[in-house]
Structure formats: structure tokens, C-alpha cells
Structure 1
Amino acid sequence: MRERTIAVAVAVGTALTVGISATGPASAGVASRAGTDGTARFYRQPISWHGCRSGPDDETGGALDAAGTRCATVTVPLDYGRPDGRTITVAISRIKATDPGRRRGALLINPGGPGAVGLDQVLLKGMMPAVAERYDLIGMDPRFVGRSTPIRCQWTTDSFTRSAGPNRRTFDESAALMKTLAAGCAQGDRDLLPHASTRNTARDMDVIRAALGEPRLSYLGYSYGTYLGAVYLQMFGARADRVVLDSAADPDVYGPNLISRNAPALAAALKHWAGWAAGHDSKYGLGDTTAAVLSTVERIDRAAARRPLRVGAYRVDAHLVPYLLFVRLYDDSAAAYAGLAAETRALAGAARGASVVPPPSLEKLLTGLFTGAGEAEDRAGTPIVCADRAASRDPATYFRDIQAHRASEPLFGPMTRNITPCAFWPTTPAEPATEIRNHVPALIVGADGDPVTPYPGQRAMHRALAGSRMITLTGAFRHGAYLAAGNACVNAAVDRYLVDGALPGTDIACDTSGGTGE
């Protein structure tokens, strides 16, 4: 299981060869041998920029072109251990610095995932004008994602994340689905799978840096992008400039079991939303106290365990109810909470046996889950997760873990601890997972109530990057702080670091009003 992309509106309609380097252990030989190990031609390649729109129906490309973006592809080795072998392409985008006389360099932005496209991240220019003055903003579709050479997983769903449900029978159903999904990724592109790792994406980033003519690369990464940024720091720290990691993943847990520890944070976020919903009971009818709203959610979950709920054209069972809540808890804004309340009202009606028409947002989410017609980050991202760290291949280990935590994590534990396609993956990781331990400067940002990358994991990233400072958005139950939260304190501190280069003298806190906490 994995994180999902942080939603930051960008005006598009909606918004390893192992060796030792100067930056620490478990770093790739490429970091110290670039240009002498057969990779020189990639580092020295020219970039041919062109328009971004690929056709009349390409809304993203049209928005990029309208903003003055130029796009290109960079050629990289499929396997950096065999640089004379097969090559693939990585799609990139660029908006040049608006103040060329004070230009500092290039800032590559990754939105998370894994599996999320990144070309459109340059459209954040309008939300970060001071930064856009000083940097060329660079977007990237990571290898095998979006417009980069794709891996085509044959799925009829856009996400593998499911709850194991209430018992061994329902767990076995989810395990069977994971096995089917793993086989779907092996049908056409099996030879690509071992090379989908974050370590190889970090290598691609360094090729992009060199091809751009930049001696050093600045970076802004959200969610999964924090792990990618940390791997780049470990492998190529001497070539990193100013690095911001927002909503950091725990570097020692990242992999197929990434969200296995998320249930307590998700329960806390759900409780926070329930308090909001209780205050709007006259509109949504979910209960007039926090406890009453949570009881409504429990009734929905129990009803789905007895028999699938009829929600429009779809049947929602116990595998899906926790997931439908999970994906709506990324944002604690009033608009997001209202959307979740409307969807929960529809589910509550279905649990009572009423005929319900789902809100358009829920209809779209269910259509993606049942047909694969959604954004499909998981289809692109699962090969990355499975290439990064090996997973247990014994289904019984997952069921035992779920049972051991079922009493304390009744709603979300069977989802966060459930088996994934990586347990049945047709290939094994080509390299060990990267050990993140270095002193390269970085700025870590996050909310202390983040339900997706919980705060203890953010703190673990802070400790692993011993040269980092941390900004905590306190009292916020959301995923994403810089720009995404609209918090003046956080935004000013990150802008100051990117523009002036000065890390805070100590870790700081920002409260949800936009001021500095005590």
C-alpha cells in the first residue's frame, strides 16, 4: 500500500550497483563515477525543447503551453548497471525563472505517488512567485509513469488498496485480488519491473540535472516525493542544492508496508472530521455529536460486512468502506469535510437499505475502483513500490498481523496492514533498499495530524537527515503543508529557505492560523 498524491491545485482543470559515496552508505556507484562508467553520453546529452500539448484532447498539455512551458524527453539507461543496453525516455517540463538576472538554478518538483505524473507541477509557479523568480521550475514524469516509457499493468481497477474485511474468508478474497493484480503487471512488461525502483528514478534525476547544465539541483518533493528526495540526497548529496521535503515518509518503513502504521493517525483524522460533521448535523444528518457520527460510520462498515451496499450502479462491500474514507481524509478544509459528509450520508442511506444516488465525487471514485477508469496512480506506482523493498510472500503473516491489531484498529487496521500485490510480484528487487543516513541540509515540512504520512514517520525522516530542520504545522489533520494548506507561516518559511538559502536556526512550529506556535 502507498501514499497518494497531495492535491495542490495547479490550474489544469482540477486540481542499485551498491558502493560508497561521500554522502553515506548504500549509495550507488553512479554517484562517484558519473561519466567514467559508461553513462557519460546520458549526462552530456542535449535537450530538444518543444510544445507540451500532444493532441486536441490533451488538457494538461494545453495548460502547460498556455503557461509558457516547454517539454522534452531525456534518454536514460533502463539498467544503470548496463548503460550500453536498452534505453528508456523520461518526460520533463520547464518554465524558466521569471527574473533571469537573479536566477539561482533549477527546482525539480515531485507531487508524490508513487505513480503520479509530474509534468504539470511547474504550474505551481502562480502559487510561489518569489521562488519562480529565482528558479527554472522542472516537472518530471518519473520512469514508467505518464509520458515516460510506461509499464502497462492490465488492471480493471485504479487502486489495489482494500481492507481485508472482517474474517479469514474476506482476507482470502483480498489476497486473491492482489495475486491477480500482480499477474496483470507481468503480462507485457515483466522485463521492466526490476528497474522501476526509486534508486533508478534518483539516477534519472541526476542525468536530468546534468543535461540541463546544472552543477546542483534543488528539489521540492511531497509525500512519496520525500522518499525520492531523500534517496537522491543519499546517492548524490554533493549535487543537491536546496531541498524541501513535505509530508515525509518514514524512510525505514517505506515500501509495500508503508501505511501499515497509519491506522491510529487515520482514526484521529476521522474523529476530527466527525466533530465537524456533528456541527453540521442539520445538513448531513450523521449525528449531532462526534460519537454519534462515528457510530454512523461503524454502522455503515458493519452493514457492508453483512452484504454489499447498493450505491448507484455499484456494490460497496467491507473491502471498500475503509478505503472510501481513507482517500477523503487527506484534506481538513471545510470543502473537503463537506464532500466526505455528503458521501458518508449516501453510504448511510445505502446501509439502511434506501435507494441512493451517489454524489458525483463518489460516483467517480467508485467508477475508477470498479472499472479502472480513474487516474490509475497505483497501476503506475505499484511496480515502483515492489521494486524498492521485498515483501513477505506468506499471506498468513499479513492475516496474523491484522488479527493482532483488530481490537485496537477495528476500522482501518485491516486495510493498512493488508496484503499487497508485492506479495505475489513476479520479480524481486534488483538492489537493497536505500539506507537514509546523512548530514546533507534539507528542510522538512509537515502537519502533526497527517493521516497519510503520520508525524512519527516524519520525525524519523528528520532524524535520518541529520542536517535537516523541520517546520511542523500544528493542529492540522491533513497531508501536505507548503502551498497545499494555505498557511502563511509555513509558506513564508519555505519561500525564505528556497530564495535566501537559510535554514531555520532550530525546528519551528506554525499553528493553523498561519502564525508561529509556541
Structure 2
Amino acid sequence: MKRQGTLARSLAVAAVLGLGGSTYAVHAAADGRDDARVDWGACPKEVVAEAAPTVLRCATVPVPVDYADPDGERIDLTVSRLASTDPGKRRGTLMLNPGGPGGSGLAQPALLASRGIPADVLDSYDLIGMDTRGVGHSGKVGCGFALDGPYTANIPPYAVDDAAVTARAKVAKQAAEQCARHDEKGLLPHLTTANTARDLDRIRAALGEERTSYLGYSYGTALGAAYASMFPERSDRVVLDSNLGDTHLTRDGLRRYAQGVEEAFPDFAAWAAARHGSYGLGRTAGEVRRTYVALAARLDEEPVGGFDGGLLRQYVFGQLFQETQYPKLAQQLQDLRAGEPEGAAADGAAGAAGPEVDNPLAVFAAVTCNDVKWPRDVDTYRKAVAEDRARHPLFGAAAANITPCAYWPYAPAEPPVAVDDDGPRNILVVQNLRDVSTPHDGGKLMRQKFAHRSRLLSVDDTGHGAYVLGDNSCALNTTSRYLVDGTMPKRDTLCRAD
């Protein structure tokens, strides 16, 4: 029975985060001069395995831990490259970020290649993946989090009442204190979006590029917006897909996750209703929703196989990220209704068992809490939970719940990066209409802030990630056309469903 709960936590962690002994070295000027030279070598063995059969090359780039002390302690950032397939057509570099913060991006060039990123994009760019500061092979940090501990996901659990918010506050406080105790090297306070954007510019310089293009998903949109704002003339063509709506994740941004669930769940409900004979969840989308709401409430009172109502809501949130996960979600709901969830656990355990949660959760907490100050009063969160439980009943009492940021031991070292609209018109904002963690409003907010510099490409689709990760041909072709030949839509555009 315990494995069932562990599986759900694994999937929740993996969904929220998006999207060895080998030799690899770099010779790059410490000040990031444009005459720096990168020597590419073999990637870490786990990256080789994840990228296979695509072969990537890796290197490291040294950056200051503290940019206020540029000659002080340094960390090495590991970057990967999938070189242009046609040097004669090569335009430059396309830096990638899969989201998080806390997700490893070293294998991302291979992932995009395997998912069918067009050949003319691969001709035009060296795809550059990376572990950003604090992640994996780039000064890895941790707080000692584990799947069987009290803090297992960067989205708080659903709070059924005020007492649940108070109980969660204790866990959040312990998590923040735990991070402080584990920060023996003093790196956590320097994990910020602003510093990561500065790192991108050091990598650009080390690669010998005057400018760089960028493709970021989810939190990667915040990082890309920060880079384009801090270094506007060094940004080439920028694509921001599945937008948070700013250069950092705010409390309001986290609360929008609940809106995203409300907007994305009907697609699953309609899919399940069309397969009522297989799953028995309801003959209409409305019936499927009522079935789910009733099941979650029942599990609040009487958990089944390690699933309580809060864990089920986290699981559903994670499974709504991609339409390909609908069958597993429907089967899980069917099994839980019958009180026999073992089948779904067996189906999913091999792919989800035992992920490392400490590093991604630690990075997510550090970057999110360091970027901007969060409220410290528990009553603020109790009020928000009550409001959002009524406004967004499927997930509002989770997304509004208290996080370690309320107790974070480090004050922000600088204000969050302000969006700078004074720069080239080079930002394409791409956004699905129904996205569980970054709803369409995030894309509209980013478009408003980059009023002069951007266009919004809305996509009539569901899921987290439109370009390459989705199945809409208009989104694929419009975005690729911009990356390859610079053709920006003349106005904000809607890609209709295929």
C-alpha cells in the first residue's frame, strides 16, 4: 500500500518540474569575454543514457557564486550541445530551459530532437541545454528532502479546512529550516532568476556568440523574460512557451495553478465521458467531474491504498499535464472508486519509482523564495485557501496553501527583475488555451508586459507546452518559422485546433 502513495508523489514531483565519471572540460575566460573558448567533450553518463540515441557534447563554464563579488568563489555550470546539422545554414545558438526551477536541461536538445523539432531549426542552431546553477551537474544543492518525508512536492497539499493550513505551516517551516541547515557551502541564497540570467550571458560569451536565441518552457519563460530584460541587445530570437506571466513565480502565479486545473480538467472529463464503457466515470463531462469531486471528498475521510484526498488532487494535477496521460488517470480513478488501486500502481511504478526529489525541490524552493518576499502571516494563507477553495474547488485549496517561502531564512538580495519593454521586437509568447499549471492568462500577462517587443501566439489545445511538445501544426510551423527566418506574426494570433 505504501508504494501507491510513493508513486503518486513521484508523479506529482515529476509533473511539476516540467518539462557521472565522463570527462568534460572548458577553457573560458573568467570574466566571460567574447574571445573565450569552449572545448566540448563527453557528457556525464546519465545524460548520455537519457539522450540516446542522440549524441550530445558537454562542457563546463565557470561563473561567480555571487555576482556582487565577481572575483570570489565560482561554480562550474555544465552545458550540452547538439550542433547544427548544416554549418552553412547555422545562425547561432538556441539556449534551452525545460522549466522548474530545478529541472535538468542537459538532455533537452535530444528530447526536442526526438519529439520532432523541424530539421530547419536543427540546421539553424546549435541547441544548448544546461543544468542551471544549483541543479545536477552545476553546483548541486539539496535540503535533505525524501519521498517518504513530510515535504514531498513544491505544490502544497489540498487543505480541507483551516486546521490543515495550520498543520501545513509547521511542515513548511521545517522545510525552510532544513534547507538552511543543509546549506553548508552557502549557495542557496545565490539561486535566483537574476543570477541565472547572468549565467546565461556568461555562457553566451563563453560560446563566442554576440547574441543568443532562447527557447524556454514554464519557469523557463520567467528566465527568458529576465534575460531579454537584463540583456536586450544580446537576445536574438526569444520564444516563451507556457508562461508564468512575469520574470519570477509570485504567490499570485502559484494560485493560478488552481485556475489552470479548472480550465484543463474539462478536456479530460470529456475524453473520459466518451469512454464511459471502459472506465465508468460518467456519461458526460459534468458527470465525470462530479465523480471526481465525490471521490476526493470520500478519500478525505477514508484514504484508500495510501491515497487520501490531498494526494489524489496532486496526482490529478500532475496527470493533466499531457493528454497522453489521460488513460492512466482514468484507470486510477476507476480503481480508487472500486477500492482497488493496485493495478495503476503496477502500471506506473517502473517509470516513476525512486526519482531524486531533494535537488529539484531544493532548487525550486530557493529560487522561488529568493526572487521575491512572500507573506509570513499564516492567516493570509488561511484566507486565500478559503477563497480559492470556493472559487476553484478542484485545486484552489492546494495552490493557495502555505509554502516554505513564508519562513525562508534568506531575504531577497535584490528586487525581482523588472520586465523591460525597451528593446528589439523579438519575443514570441506561445500559450495553450488550457494549461494546467500555466493558464492562458499567464501568456496574456507576459504579452502585456512586453507590449512593444512581443506577439502572443495562442493555441487551441490542452496540456503544458505547445511548441514541439504539443500536437498543433500551426503552433509548430509558426514558431519554427520565427526561429528560422525571423517571421514574427504581424498581430496576436490564434492557432485553431487541428
Shorter-chain TM-score bucket reads 0.7 to 0.9
Q: Which of 209, 217, 224 is the equivalent residue of 1:214? A: 209
Q: CA deviation at 1:152?
A: 1.2
Q: In the alignment, what sits opposite 1:26?
A: none
Q: In the alignment, what sits opposite 2:316?
A: 325
Are positions 1:87 and 2:74 aligned together?
A: yes
Q: Quick one: distance in 2 between partners of 1:43 and 1:148?
A: 22
Q: In the alignment, what sits opposite 2:378?
A: 395
Q: Quick one: distance in 2 between partners of 1:63 and 1:163?
A: 31
Q: TM-score, normalised by structure 1?
A: 0.85
Kept in 2: contact 1:90–1:143 (CA 8 A) = yes
Q: CA deviation at 1:273?
A: 1.0
Q: In the alignment, what sits opposite 2:268?
A: 273
Deviation string for 1:6-50 (max 9, x for gaps)? Answer: 44xxxxxxxxxxxxxxxxxxxxxxxxxxxxxx9625765432321
Q: Quick one: distance in 2 between partners of 1:67 and 1:226?
A: 26
Kept in 2: contact 1:78–1:195 (CA 8 A) = yes
Q: CA deviation at 1:294?
A: 1.4
Deviation string for 1:106-145 (max 9, x for gaps)? Answer: 1111111110000111112352211010111100110001
Q: In the alignment, what sits opposite 2:153?
A: 159
Kept in 1: contact 2:335–2:344 (CA 8 A) = yes
Q: In the alignment, what sits opposite 1:70?
A: 57
Q: For the structure 1 residues 207 and 355, does the alpha-carbon distance in structure 2 shift closer, same or farther, using more than 3 Å as the test?
A: closer
Q: In the alignment, what sits opposite 1:451?
A: 436
Over aligned residue pairs, what C-alpha RMSD do you find?
2.4
Q: Which of 413, 421, 425 is the equivalent residue of 1:430? A: 413
Q: Quick one: distance in 1 between partners of 2:190 and 2:359?
A: 20
Aligned pairs for 1:32-431 (under 5 A) are 40=31, 45-54=36-45, 58=46, 60-64=47-51, 66-123=53-110, 124-126=112-114, 127-128=116-117, 129-157=119-147, 158-189=152-183, 191-251=186-246, 254-307=249-302, 309-311=303-305, 315-331=306-322, 333=323, 335-350=324-339, 354=340, 356-360=342-346, 363=349, 373=356, 377-431=360-414
Residue aligned with 2:476, SS: helix
Residue aligned with 2:231, SS: helix
Q: In the alignment, what sits opposite 1:4?
A: 16
Count of aligned positions: 467
Deviation string for 1:431-454 (max 9, x for gaps)? Answer: 111111314321111111122111
Letter in 2 for 1:178: A
Q: For the structure 1 residues 227 and 160, does the alpha-carbon distance in structure 2 shift closer, same or farther, using more than 3 Å as the test?
A: closer
Residue aligned with 2:236, SS: strand
Unaligned stretches of 5+ in structure 1? 8-37, 514-518
Kept in 2: contact 1:330–1:479 (CA 8 A) = yes
Q: CA deviation at 1:171?
A: 1.7
Kept in 1: contact 2:135–2:359 (CA 8 A) = no
Q: In the alignment, what sits opposite 2:22?
A: none
Q: Quick one: distance in 1 between partners of 2:126 and 2:357?
A: 31
Residue aligned with 2:61, SS: strand
Residue aligned with 1:184, SS: helix
Which protein is richer in helix relative to its size? 2
Kept in 1: contact 2:34–2:209 (CA 8 A) = no
Q: Quick one: distance in 2 between partners of 1:78 and 1:481?
A: 34
Q: Which of 485, 490, 514 is the equivalent residue of 2:470? A: 485
Kept in 1: contact 2:248–2:368 (CA 8 A) = no
Q: CA deviation at 1:486?
A: 2.0
Q: TM-score, normalised by structure 2?
A: 0.88
Kept in 1: contact 2:243–2:443 (CA 8 A) = yes
Q: CA deviation at 1:426?
A: 1.6
Kept in 1: contact 2:158–2:313 (CA 8 A) = no
Q: Quick one: distance in 2 between partners of 1:105 and 1:201?
A: 21
Unaligned stretches of 5+ in structure 2? 1-11, 20-28
Q: In the alignment, what sits opposite 2:5?
A: none
Moved more, 204-213 or 150-159: 150-159
Runs of 4+ in 1 over 6 A off after TM superposition: none
Residue aligned with 2:338, SS: helix
Moved more, 380-389 or 219-228: 380-389
Q: Quick one: distance in 2 between partners of 1:160 and 1:218?
A: 30
Moved more, 106-115 or 190-199: 190-199
Q: Quick one: distance in 1 between partners of 2:91 and 2:32?
A: 26
Kept in 2: contact 1:247–1:480 (CA 8 A) = yes
Kept in 1: contact 2:374–2:405 (CA 8 A) = yes
Kept in 2: contact 1:118–1:139 (CA 8 A) = yes
Q: CA deviation at 1:5?
A: 4.2
Residue aligned with 1:89, SS: strand
Q: For the structure 1 residues 5 and 511, does the alpha-carbon distance in structure 2 shift closer, same or farther, using more than 3 Å as the test?
A: farther
Q: CA deviation at 1:254?
A: 2.2
Moved more, 421-430 or 376-385: 376-385
Q: Quick one: distance in 2 between partners of 1:338 and 1:355?
A: 14
Letter in 1 for 2:42: G
Q: CA deviation at 1:253?
A: 6.9
Moved more, 79-88 or 43-52: 43-52
Q: In the alignment, what sits opposite 2:3?
A: none
Are positions 1:468 and 2:454 aligned together?
A: yes
Are positions 1:501 and 2:490 aligned together?
A: no
Q: Quick one: distance in 2 between partners of 1:79 and 1:349?
A: 55
Deviation string for 1:330-372 (max 9, x for gaps)? Answer: 12x3x3211211121222223xxx574433465579966xxx7
Aligned identity (percent) is 36
Q: For the structure 1 residues 305 and 207, does the alpha-carbon distance in structure 2 shift closer, same or farther, using more than 3 Å as the test?
A: same
Q: Quick one: distance in 2 between partners of 1:310 and 1:318?
A: 9
Q: CA deviation at 1:224?
A: 0.6
Kept in 2: contact 1:287–1:293 (CA 8 A) = yes
Residue aligned with 1:287, SS: coil
Residue aligned with 2:462, SS: coil
Q: For the structure 1 residues 361 and 175, does the alpha-carbon distance in structure 2 shift closer, same or farther, using more than 3 Å as the test?
A: farther
